[in-house]
Each structure stands twice: as C-alpha cells, then as structure tokens.
Amino acid sequence: MMDEVRISSVARSADWITTEYNNESSPSTFYVIYPGNEGMVVAPTSVNLYAGQSQQFGAATGTCSAAVTWSLPPDAPGILTASGFYTAPAVVVAQQNVMVSATSQGSVGTSVVTLLPSPLDPTLTLAAAVQPPYVTGIPETFVVTLKNQSGTPMPGAAVTFASLARTVIRVAERRDANGMASYTYTGTNSGNDTIHATANVSGEQVTSNTVSATWLVPVQGISTTTATGYFFPTPDNGCAFEISPRQRPHLCKHSQL
C-alpha cells in the first residue's frame, strides 16, 4: 500500500529523499522550535572590574545562529570588541557603572560592568602587645593595623587572625577608626606558635607579617606578692666589694618590688 505518492521531473538525491521521509516519519526529532527573541540574555549579567581587567561576554539570542552586535554607550570608558570582549580603562579614578549591550534581530540584552578604583596598596602590620616568652594559661594580646600607601588608617572590614604550628585559632574582628584590631588568646602547651593576620580589601587579599609566640610552662608558680629588699651602698671608690652572709648592711633600706 502506498500513500502520498509524489512524482518529480528531475532526479532527486538520496539526502533529499531521506529528508522528506524524516520530515513525515519523526517530526519531533527533525526540527527544533526556539523561543522568541525577547528572551535574549547576556552573561554574565553583572561583573566588577579593576583598571585594565577584562571580561568576555556571551549572549543567548533564542534564535538559530542569529548574529549579535555588541555596543557601549557613547563616551563610555573601556573597549568592547565585536565578539563581546570588554577591557576596562587603564585608570579608574572613582567607582562607576558601564552598560554593555547586545542586539540581535531587534532584541536587546544588557550587562552592568562596575569599574572599581584600584586599592591603595594596603599594608597589614601585626605586633605583640608584650614580647615573648609567654606563660601558658595567661592570655596575651596581639594587635594588627591596616593602612593604605599614604599611611592613613583603613577602618571597617574584618581581619582574620591565625595561630599556626601548634594551635589553630581563627577569629574575625572589625577594625576600629584607627584601622586596628586586637586578638587575645591563651597558650595551653609549651612550644612555639606562628601568628599572622589577613584582611580582604575591595577584593584584594592582604597578609600581615608573622609574629612568633613562645609559650613556657613554669617549673614553679609565679608569685605576684610584695617583696622586701635590703640594699648595701656602693663604696665611694666605685669598686666592687663582697658582703658576707652574716654581715649587716651599713645603710638599710626596704622597697616593694
């Protein structure tokens, strides 16, 4: 039995006959229906760039092999190529937004580029409030200061302290108006710790210098009571002299130590 017989006055290729068959036999696998152009999306939809950084943009047009035209607003900073590759200007004085547009068959998609000024070369300095060695069980404080290249304190963002080697402790604290944050912890074992701090400033990771903390376990308990001392005067000639254990001081004084 035959149905829909067609007669051609010219020779048809095997591909042409196969296409005619597939078109009727399995339509769902023979063609694809794309959404309308109003659904075009530019990727990424937004991005942050510093001076001189670049970003490749792409566009989903919703149509088969539709050409895309990329553009920037008039006088917009930066360079955008015909393929959607954007490069930020060499100098960014202040934060600003740039609109990147993609047009295809009357449909327009956009992405926002936020240009950020370069960080002011921040420095993070870590110092111990009291120099080591330290006694285990007694808390010690370490202070970090964040400044820009001009030496101006940079307050606000969090600083993370890390104690490495023997004990790992991470604490994030906010810097004050002087760009300073403190970290206090107590060693529990005898040994050495290496302490450093990190901060994230406008997307840039800043690491401080390292500070060594030596912890000791005292053989005996440390006394903080008042001691009384008796002092012998130095001879007038300034020479050294010896005092026997039983000899009483010529001039007796006492003092709290």
Tokens of 208: 């401080």
Residue type, 244: S
Q: Are 197 and 160 in contact (CB under 8 A)?
A: yes
CA atoms within 13 A on the CB side of 257: 8
Say how far apart CA 136 and CA 186 lie, in whole Å: 7
List CB contacts of 93: < 8 A, sequence separation 6 or more.
117
Residue with tokens 């017989």: 5
Q: Mind listing the pLDDT tens digit for each residue in 115-143?
A: 988 766 788 888 888 888 888 888 888 88
Instruction: Indicate yes or no: pTM above 0.75.
Output: no
Q: Do domains 1-117 and 123-216 have the same CATH topology?
A: yes
Question: Rounded to 10 degrees, what is the CA torsion of 129, 132, 136, 137?
Answer: -10
Percentage with pLDDT > 90 across the chain:
19
Say how far apart CA 173 and CA 139 lie, in whole Å: 17
| Torsional sign, CA 213, 163, 172, 118 | positive
Rounded alpha-carbon distances, angstroms, from residue 189 to 79, 217, 220: 58, 7, 16
Q: Mind listing the pLDDT tens digit for each residue in 86-107?
A: 999 988 888 899 999 998 877 8
Rounded alpha-carbon distances, angstroms, from residue 144 to 123, 136, 178, 201, 210: 10, 22, 10, 15, 11
List CB contacts of 115: < 8 A, sequence separation 6 or more.
49, 50, 51, 77, 78, 88, 89, 92, 95, 96, 97, 98
Which fold is adopted by the domain 1-117?
Immunoglobulin-like (2.60.40)
Q: Mind listing the pLDDT tens digit for each residue in 178-213?
A: 678 778 878 888 888 888 888 877 667 888 888 888
Domain 123-216 falls under CATH 2.60.40.10: yes
Q: Which of 5-19, 75-89, 222-236 has the highest mean pLDDT?
A: 75-89
Say how far apart CA 42 and CA 51 lie, in whole Å: 22
Say how far apart CA 82 and CA 71 lie, in whole Å: 8
Say how far apart CA 163 and CA 185 lie, in whole Å: 9
Domain boundaries defined on the chain = 1-117, 123-216
Q: Mind listing the pLDDT tens digit for each residue in 19-57?
A: 888 888 888 787 777 655 555 788 899 999 988 899 999
Say how far apart CA 137 and CA 189 lie, in whole Å: 9
